[in-house]
Structure 1
Amino acid sequence: MTEDTHSTAPVLRQEPAIRRIGRSDLVDALSAGLRDFQAYPAFGLFFGGVYALGGVAILACALLWDLLYLVYPLAAGFVLIGPFVAVGLYEVSRLREKGEVPSWPGVFKAMWAQGGKEISWMAFVTVFIFIIWMYQVRLLIALFFGLHGMPAGGFPAVLFTTPEGLAFLAVGHMVGAVLAIVTFSLTVVSFPLLLDREVDFITAMIASVRAVVSNPVTMLGWALCVVLLLFVAALPAFLGLVVALPILGHTTWHLYRKLVA
């Protein structure tokens, strides 16, 4: 009696095909994202407002606990979870692309349906990277300022007028840049891909990294635009994120459509 080997063979999923894109595709995606925001601004303002309120809450906690020196690292790290918050915006763009009219129940139902699926693991990945970011900040503070940490008073002067402070800023920004590039590479395609197709989160992350590697100049240019826009938007107490997040979220969906065949 011969054994049926086909019954136990693993099912291999084909990895998504990645396209090459250029600057014109990036401009087209941005234009389409702006049109989505203009067509349904209430969704964008809502999710952008939730994201901005999260930033304000972090700022308030840091001030309340007299941890003013952590405001900038917290604000920079908070940007890392933006792709997860923008899932609702991806759904709005997806529905509009299909010719359907987005509704609040429909968008929230689609988001709720992702609760036990692969997109939850991607959310865990972004939160995990945020935790790593904050731990490395504390580690650098201990390395450059000792176990007692940064002085509570006059820390701006310590940062900008002492060798330890300048070294802390230089190393901190280099480590932050590396973490930001890693996060961008893992999430720029993975979140919209998981919303759009039945793939596992590992496959989605690999596809996202492949998209960045296949289009290094275009994607790193987009990453720089994202960083600059979020930095400017966060300056007025995070309030600019109300508009910045929906623009970036809708644009990311259309960029995903151009990148993944």
Structure 2
Amino acid sequence: MAAQAVPAFAGPQVAIRRIELDRPWQWLAKGWQDMRVAPHVSYTYGLLAALTGYVLSYGLYLVDMLYLVLPLTAGFLIVGPILAVGLYEVSRRAELGLSTGLDEAFGAFRRNSSQIALMGVALMLLMFAWARIAALIFFLYFGMQPPSFENLIVTTFLEPDALPFLAFGTLTGGVLAFVAFSISVVSIPLLLDRPQANVIDAMATSFRTVQTNLAPMLFWAALIVMFIAAGLATLYLGLIVTLPLIGHASWHAYRDLVSYPEQG
């Protein structure tokens, strides 16, 4: 498969491969294989994601802001990549023929702790920005009396007057989610795989990867949204499966898209 050399600031030169549109299906298939290799780690991550969803929802209920549960759970797409570092580690070690326990998975960030942490800060800032924007959008359209949780679905999705709210909110959230996707889809696995890499080079490589393979990466982003949305729609229970599947598949996306001079 042909590769295109891409300079990445001061870091070592990398090559970004051009891929076919249907390639993401192979990443999902490989991700499923990794889940079967380390089911205890994979499903533990999925269970923690589901529990986090319940805690978030209960916290919003306590502060009488349950109307924000939909945009904040949607914001999970922004920070999700940094939460999956342990899943990337499972897949990385599986390629080397190594098994991975929970201690290795939870400690994976130590391979490049400072740069992975900086990447996490960047995604958290985007998440906080989305949370503030989502609250402002709610108040803009519904005033100081946002819809109750009981009427949330009907008020925001089924009433004709809600169409501008849905259009503007979806567009705004989509832009932020795509920015997060563009800078993280390759960068976080890269930082784990290459401890000498820095966050600026990694984000530049990730952005250039999306630019080089725009159609396949948009398809991959759509698949991620579909799988995570399915997990959320089942009252978070589906995340037990969909989160680790996407996490492992994301590692294989990185390996498929990026190569280094010594790899040929």
TM over 0.5: yes
Kindly provide the CA deviation profile for residues 99-131 of structure 1, in whole angstroms up to 9, marking residues without a partner as x. Answer: 12223333333334543x200011111111110
Gaps of 5+ in 2: 1-8, 260-264
Tell me which residue corresponds to 2:210.
212
Tell me which of 114, 137, 142 is aligned to 1:140: 137
Tell me which of 224, 233, 251 is aligned to 1:235: 233
The answer (yes or no) to whether the contact 2:38–2:99 under 8 Å persists in 1 is: no
The question of 1:125 aligning with 2:155 is answered no
Shift of 1:70: 1.0
Shift of 1:60: 1.3
Tell me which residue corresponds to 1:66.
64
Q: Write the mapping of 1:14-93 to structure 2, written as runs, cut at 5 A.
A: 14-93=12-91
| Higher mean C-alpha displacement, 35-44 vs 68-77 | 68-77
Shift of 1:133: 0.5
Structure 2 Cα separation of the partners of residues 56 and 258 of structure 1: 35
Return closer, same or farther for 1:149/1:209 CA change in 2, 3 Å cut-off: farther
Q: Which has the larger radius of gyration?
A: 1
Shift of 1:157: 4.9
Tell me which residue corresponds to 1:260.
258
Kindly provide the CA deviation profile for residues 229-260 of structure 1, in whole angstroms up to 9, marking residues without a partner as x. Answer: 11111112211111111110111001100100
Letter in 2 for 1:210: R
The answer (yes or no) to whether the contact 2:109–2:116 under 8 Å persists in 1 is: no
TM-score (norm: length of structure 1): 0.88
Tell me which residue corresponds to 1:244.
242
Return closer, same or farther for 1:191/1:145 CA change in 2, 3 Å cut-off: same
Return closer, same or farther for 1:155/1:202 CA change in 2, 3 Å cut-off: same
| Higher mean C-alpha displacement, 64-73 vs 201-210 | 64-73
Letter in 2 for 1:60: Y
TM-score (norm: length of structure 2): 0.87
The answer (yes or no) to whether the contact 1:15–1:203 under 8 Å persists in 2 is: no
Letter in 2 for 1:166: L
Name the SS for the 2:107 alignment partner: helix
How many residues matched?
248
Kindly provide the CA deviation profile for residues 56-101 of structure 1, in whole angstroms up to 9, marking residues without a partner as x. Answer: 1111112233323111111111232111111000001001101122
Return closer, same or farther for 1:155/1:26 CA change in 2, 3 Å cut-off: closer
Tell me which of 150, 172, 177 is aligned to 1:175: 172
Name the SS for the 2:166 alignment partner: helix
Shift of 1:221: 0.4
The question of 1:192 aligning with 2:150 is answered no
Structure 2 Cα separation of the partners of residues 189 and 114 of structure 1: 15
Shift of 1:218: 0.6
Structure 2 Cα separation of the partners of residues 178 and 213 of structure 1: 15
Letter in 1 for 2:217: M
Letter in 1 for 2:133: Q
Name the SS for the 1:74 alignment partner: helix
The answer (yes or no) to whether the contact 1:51–1:82 under 8 Å persists in 2 is: no
Shift of 1:200: 0.9
Gaps of 5+ in 1: 1-10
Name the SS for the 2:15 alignment partner: coil
The answer (yes or no) to whether the contact 1:144–1:168 under 8 Å persists in 2 is: yes
Structure 1 Cα separation of the partners of residues 250 and 133 of structure 2: 28
Tell me which residue corresponds to 2:146.
150
Percent identical pairs in the alignment equals 38
Shift of 1:176: 1.0
Query: What CA RMSD, in Å, does the superposition of the two structures yield over aligned residues?
Result: 1.9
Tell me which residue corresponds to 2:224.
226
Name the SS for the 2:17 alignment partner: coil
The question of 1:105 aligning with 2:77 is answered no
| Higher mean C-alpha displacement, 100-109 vs 75-84 | 100-109
Return closer, same or farther for 1:15/1:53 CA change in 2, 3 Å cut-off: farther
